[in-house]
Amino acid sequence: MQAGFRRWLLSVGRCVLLGWLVTGVAMACAPSKSSAKRLAQLERCHVQGGTRLAGCATIEVPLVHSDAKLGTIPLRVAVFEAESRTPSPDPIFLLAGGPGQAATEAFPQLLPAWSRMTATRDIVLIDVRGTGASKPLDCPQDRSLEAIFRTDNIAGSAKRCAALFASTAKYHTTAALADDLDVVRAQLGYERINLLGVSYGTRLALEYARRHPKRLRTMVLDSVAPPTMVLSLSFALDGQRALDQMFDRCAKNADCHKSFPNLKEDFHALLASLDDGKKLTIHHPHTGKPIEILLRRHIFAQAIRGLLYAPLFRSLLPLTIQQAKQGNFDPFVAQIATLAGGAQEGMSEGLFLSIACAEDIPRLTEKAIVEQSRASFLGDSIVREFQRACAHWPSAAHPKGFGMPVSSEVPTLLLSGELDPVTPPRWAEEALATLPNGRHIVVPDEAHGVAAIGCVPRLLERFLNEPQKRDFDAGCIDDHHGMKFFLDFAGPG
């Protein structure tokens, strides 16, 4: 018998067990003095990437929370029970990014870094509707190398895939996902929960705080994407900032500057050489066979932005640019193929489009697009591609009031990577303005997703144990140093 189930039996005392909740079959019991609770049956399971067994269940949630008659949708839930004999009653719900990542695929490998938190609290992973094993909105993907360099990658996929989800895509919004979380909370019998969201998961956490404030104990927001951010519109300015930071860090590093003395100029010359596209013969990174591709400027620019996400690729970037300037694009193509493979794995493109096309693209204005793209190496290519994609996608109507800041008294720890190309610290600061019990920590020399890096897990544990404490010491962050630049292919300098 599971430890969580044993704890539940003890807590309900004289409760009479009438049945189990397995994919929608209800279990009920006489309510205790505090409140009636419902428990989903958890079956022992192995979650890929996990180092110990979890308890898994399928929990049905309303397709439309305001009208239960329209049916339900199944959510996959995995619970890693606290190892302590006296666990804290409030679990940690982990919310993945994207939108489109499945929590059961994004987080299990990170749990060892949070071992002190997982020892005392249950960890709950939910594949939100449209992801993972929760009736995913998966579009058929062309995973060939050539597909990466097509100009209509997102828009073309949306056009081909739209008919598959014409009747269901409109039910996939951040508000619906937030209400789903509360159904799962109630089914598992938790009174209050802690939320740890990464990237889009921070937007979902904030929406939960807006809609279910009494059920929330704390929030940890890592790489903050508040509802005031318009996905795709901000990418140009934030991507340019991250690229400029890379140039500056290389120029200030004696070894990097010596190896790449004209890095910024070489990059812009390389961009200009791709204005009309360039036919390249490269070696396939998996087979080694020569292959021809047509590389266009905006595809190259978007790929560079993608490389700025990952510490390893960012450290390779000066060398990658130098090699490409000299005519060797093989390192660039190999890195992009690796990055694209990882991005496609566990990502539901349909959910991404459902969220972005309902909540973000309708908020675009032509004036804002021109203003935010003119000074960026990315130009307006990303936002235009999203506009084309959303013209085909059957999304919900723009939710009323969405995009307004979330005001919450809930103790909140906000985390940012100094070099993040998509959710830099400015977005956490914007969210913090309406979170009076919030604190913002910036991790130096890091980019996107920092909750498992360096001493941050210790800070998370400290925050969760004493969320009201305003003066806990975060000085360990100041000693953090990121990966050094590669001066050649032998390794970092």
pLDDT digits (tens, 9 = 90+) for 210-241: 999 999 999 999 999 999 999 999 999 999 99
| DSSP state for residue 458 in the 8-state scheme | H
Give Cα separations from 148 to 151, 258, 327, 383, 479 (angstroms).
9, 33, 20, 18, 38
Same domain membership, residue 92 and residue 151:
no
Helical (H) or strand (E) element with 416: strand 412-417
Domain holding 323, by residue range, is: 138-161+233-400
Please tell me the predicted confidence (pLDDT) of residue 20: 26
User: In this structure, are 383 and 396 located in the same domain?
Assistant: yes
From CA 385, how far away is CA 151, in angstroms rounded?
A: 9
Specify whether 467 is located in the same domain as 393: no
Secondary structure element (H or E) that encloses residue 251, with its range: helix 235-252
Alpha-carbon gap, residue 10 to 85, rounded angstroms? 13
**Are both 255 and 392 inside the same structural domain?**
yes
Domain annotation covers residue 11: no
Say whether both 244 and 218 belong to one domain. no
Return the sign of the alpha-carbon dihedral for residues 4, 10, 15, 17: positive
Q: The whole model's pTM is what?
A: 0.89
Residue 344: predicted pLDDT: 54
Return the structure tokens found at 397: 């109507």
Angstrom distance (rounded) from CA 141 to CA 147 = 9
- The last residue of a domain, from among 400, 424, 451: 400
In the prediction, which pLDDT does 68 show? 85
> Do 421 and 357 fall into the same domain?
no
Residue 1 lies in a domain: no
Whether residue 26 lies inside any domain: the answer is no
Which of 400, 429, 462 is at the close of a domain?
400
Pairing of strands 412-417, 438-443: parallel
What is the amino acid identity at position 276?
Answer: D
Give the number of other Cβ atoms within 10 Å of residue 276's Cβ.
8
Residues 75 and 148 in one domain: no
Beta-sheet strands, E only, within 24-151: 43-45, 54-62, 72-80, 92-95, 123-127
Q: Do 184 and 196 reside in the same domain of the chain?
A: yes
Q: From 367, 400, 433, give the residue that closes a domain.
A: 400
Asked if 154 and 248 sit in the same domain, the reply is: yes
Residue 283 lies in a domain: yes
Mark whether 395 and 420 lie in a shared domain: no
287 in any annotated domain: yes
How much is the pLDDT for 140? 83
Domain count, the chain: 2
Tokens of 233: 């519109």
In a domain, 156, yes or no: yes
What is the pLDDT, as a whole number, of residue 14? 28
Q: Which residues of the chain have pLDDT under 50?
A: 1-40
Round to whole Å and give the CA distance between 97 and 21: 29
Distance from the first to the final alpha carbon of the chain: 53
Q: Are residues 149 and 131 in the same domain?
A: no
Q: Is 454 within a domain?
A: yes
- CA angle in degrees (0–180, nearest 5) for 93-94-100: 130
Domain with 434 in it: what CATH number? 3.40.50.1820
The answer to whether residue 284 is domain-embedded is yes
Let me know whether 243 and 383 are in one domain.
Answer: yes
